[in-house]
Structure 1
Amino acid sequence: MSPYQRGVCGWSTAGLIPRMLDPRVSIMDMVAIPSVLDHKFSLTMDTPSRTRSVDFGLSTTYIKNSLRIDSPEMGRICAAAKEGNISVVLGFSENLNHSLYISQAIIDHEGIIRVKRRKLKATHMERTVFDEASGSSLTNVVDLAGIGQEESSVPIWEYSGGPDLWSMSGDGSRTLSQAYAIESQSFVLHTTAVLSQDGIDRMDTSNGLVMNAPGGGTSAIFGPDGRKLSEDLPDTVEGFLYADLDLDDILKSKSFLDVCGHYSRPDLLTISVNDIERVLADSA
C-alpha cells in the first residue's frame, strides 16, 4: 500500500497517468492520491492568502479543468489503473454542470470505479468554490472508504466514509489520522500535498498569511493501533511511501477495543442517517 505525497500545481491527467504506471507502483496493491489532486486547489476567493481578493480568470480555468466522472480523462485514469493492475483512491475536483465538489473515487485493478463520493461539507474558504455532498456520499459500513480533509474532525461523519485527512498544521493533520486509525481499527493511508513555488506563484499567495512558502508534505501510513508504519519524506519532496499491511492487525485491535462492535452502546446512543441523494426538482 502506498500514499503518494505530491506537489500542488503541475499535475494534469497527462502527468498523473505516467506516475500510475511507474515501475515503483507495479509492486503495490493500492495507491492513495490526495484531495483535489489533478487540479490545483483554488485559492481564488481566499482573501487572506492572496494579494488580491478575486481572480475570475483563474476561477474559470479551475472550473474548466476540473474532472467530470464521465469524461475521457477519467476514462484514461481508469484504463491506467487496469494496465498497472493497481487499485487507486483518487481525490479530485469534480465538475458537474460547472458546480464543483471535493470528490473521491476508488478505482479497482480492473479499471472500474467502485466507490464515488463527495466531501459532505466544504470547509471555510472552500465554501466559495465547492458545493456540499448529499446523502448518497454517506457510504458507511464498507471495507475500503474515503474521507476528505476536515471530515475526520467530525466524529459522527467519520465512519460513514474512512485516507485523506487535513488540518491547518502538519501535527494536527497527523493527529487526526492516527486518532481515526485507532477509533476505526483501520489502516490509514494519510496523503498530503506538497506546495511548490510554482503553485505559490500561480495562486499569487507569496504575500499571504498562509500557503506562502513551499512545503506541507506530511504523508504517512498508520496501522489500526495508531502506529506509523512508513518512513517520512522531506516536506518539500514528492514521492511514494510504502508499507506491507497485515490485515490480522485489525483483528488484534478489535479484540481489545471494537468501537463499532462490542465496545459500542446502541441502546444508549444511535444516529439517524439520510442517505437519499438530493435533487433540485422532484417529478414524483
Structure 2
Amino acid sequence: MACHGQQLHSQRLIRCDTMIDSSTQDSPMAKLGIASKDTRHQVRVAVTQAEPRWLDLQGSIDKTCALIVEAAKGGAELLAFPECWITGYPAWIWARPVDTDLASRYIKNSMRADGPEMARIQQCAADNDMTVVLGFSENFHNTLYISQAIIDSDGKLLALRRKIKATHMERTIFGDASGDALTSVVDTRVGRVGALSCWEHIQPLLKYYLYSHREQIHVAAWPPLHPYKDEKELWSMSREGARALSQTYAIESQAFVLHATSIISEQGISLMNTERGAVMSTPGGGSSAIFGPDGRILTEDIPQCEEGILYATLDLDEILRCKSFVDVCGHYSRPDMLWLGVDREVKKHVQ
C-alpha cells in the first residue's frame, strides 16, 4: 500500500479485537478433535502501532502513558511497544554513517533505566493495572543500548534486557549487551513473558535459549517495516520478511507472539533526512500483528500509515495443545546429540 503524502491519523486508535477460541467449529484445534478452551486461562493483550515522538524524551513519555491508558480502557492486561519506541528508531543511520548533531541529540533524549521518566512509566503501568513491555533507547552514562523493559502490573521493573548485538548500521551509535541481557523471560501477572528486538529473531541460539524458558507470551519489537519493493533490497528487512520471522518464532516456541512496529511520517523523514535512505525513506511502516502459538495470525491489519492498537483475547491452553504436537526443548529434542552452552556472566570493563 502506497501512502505518500498521507497524514498519520494520530487521534484514531483503532481497536481490532480477536478472540482465539479452540471450541469453534472452524478452529484448527476443533478439527483435530481437541477439547474446548478453559476460560480461566484467558489473557487480553494489546500491541501498539504508532509514530514515536522523535528525539523528544518528555513527549515520548507523554505518548507512552496515553497509550497505556487507552489500552487499559480497551480491557488490555498487557501492552507491547516497538523497538526504540522511546525516543524513536534512529532511521538516519541507514541514510548516512555519520551525523554527529542528530547523534548528540539522540543521546540527550534517550532514557535512563533508573531515571524519573522510567519511574513515571512504571507508575502509569501500576495505575492502570497493566503489564508493559517497552522498547527504548537506553542511555547508560551516555552509551546507548537498544533495550527492552518488562514492567509488571504493580509497576515493578522485572527485567531490563539489551539487544545482544546491534544490527549493521545500528553499531554506529549502539553498544552490545553482556550476560545480563539473557534475562529475557520473566513471570508476570499475566503469565511468562519474554522479549527480543528486531533481527534477534534471526539468532538461532538466542531464540533456543528463550524457548528453554517456556514463554507463554513473546513480544517481538521492530522498527517501521515497509513492504518489499524489488531485488535491490533484502526481503528479510521488509514488512513481509520481518513478519515471517515473528510468525516462525510463534511456531517454534509454541508461544503467542506480539509483533510490535512503529510508523514514520513525512515529519519524521524530514527531521532525520532519510529521503534517500536504504529504509524508512517513505511514510508508513506499520505492520503490527498478533500470532497464535501455531503461527496463525489473530488480528486484522491496521493500514501501514495509521496509528492504532490491536487487541486479542488469548487462551493460554492453546499453548498446551500446540506443545502436545511439538516442543523443541522437550519431547521433540535430542539433547544427547545437540545442546546449547550459555555464559550469563556480566563482563566488566574494570575488575
Q: Under TM normalisation by the shorter chain, which class is it?
A: over 0.9
Task: Give the AA of the match of 2:314.
Answer: L
Distance 1:12 1:266 in 2: 45
Task: Give the AA of the match of 1:187.
Answer: F
**TM-fit CA distance, 1:24:** 5.4
Q: Within the alignment, does 1:170 sit opposite 2:219 as a pair?
A: no
1:29 pairs, out of 67, 74, 77, with 77
Q: Residue in 2 aligned with 1:220? A: 289
3-state SS in 2 of match to 1:67: coil
Q: Within the alignment, does 1:148 sit opposite 2:148 as a pair?
A: no
Distance 2:254 2:182 in 1: 19
Aligned pairs for 1:68-217 within 5 A: 68-139=112-183, 142=186, 143-161=192-210, 162-166=218-222, 167-217=236-286
Q: 1:113 to 1:141 in 2, by over 3 A?
A: closer
Q: 1:165 to 1:159 in 2, by over 3 A?
A: farther
**TM-fit CA distance, 1:231:** 1.1
Q: Residue in 2 aligned with 1:272? A: 341
Distance 1:77 1:29 in 2: 15
3-state SS in 1 of match to 2:170: helix
Instruction: Give the superposed CA RMSD.
Output: 1.6
Q: Alpha-carbon deviations, 1:84-122, whole Å to 9, x = none?
A: 111000000001010000000010110111111010100
1 or 2 for the larger relative contact order (CA 8 Å, sep ≥6)? 2
CA contact (8 A) 1:42 1:129 kept: no
Distance 1:245 1:12 in 2: 29
Task: Give the AA of the match of 1:186.
Answer: A
Task: Give the AA of the match of 1:195.
Answer: I
2:99 pairs, out of 55, 58, 62, with 55
**TM-fit CA distance, 1:42:** 1.7
**TM-fit CA distance, 1:9:** 4.0
Distance 1:140 1:55 in 2: 32
3-state SS in 2 of match to 1:195: coil
Instruction: Structure 2 unaligned segments of length 5 or more: list them.
Output: 1-44, 187-191, 211-217, 223-235
Q: Within the alignment, does 1:17 sit opposite 2:61 as a pair?
A: no
The worse-fitting range, judged by mean Cα deviation, of 129-138 and 16-25 is 16-25
Task: Give the AA of the match of 1:163.
Answer: V
3-state SS in 2 of match to 1:35: coil
Where does structure 1 differ by over 6 angstroms across 4 or more consecutive aligned residues?
none
Distance 1:238 1:119 in 2: 26
Q: Residue in 1 aligned with 2:89? A: 41
**TM-fit CA distance, 1:207:** 2.6
Q: 1:133 to 1:25 in 2, by over 3 A?
A: farther
CA contact (8 A) 1:141 1:160 kept: no
Q: Alpha-carbon deviations, 1:131-184, whole Å to 9, x = none?
A: 011111112665211011101111111143442255510110110011000100
3-state SS in 2 of match to 1:180: helix
Q: 1:5 to 1:201 in 2, by over 3 A?
A: same
Task: Give the AA of the match of 1:67.
Answer: M
Task: Give the AA of the match of 2:219.
Answer: P
Task: Give the AA of the match of 1:68.
Answer: R
Instruction: Structure 1 unaligned segments of length 5 or more: list them.
Output: none
**TM-fit CA distance, 1:197:** 1.1
Q: State TM-score, norm by structure 2.
A: 0.76
CA contact (8 A) 1:206 1:212 kept: yes
Q: Alpha-carbon deviations, 1:216-248, whole Å to 9, x = none?
A: 111000000000111110011111001110000
Identity percentage over the alignment? 47
Q: 1:278 to 1:227 in 2, by over 3 A?
A: same
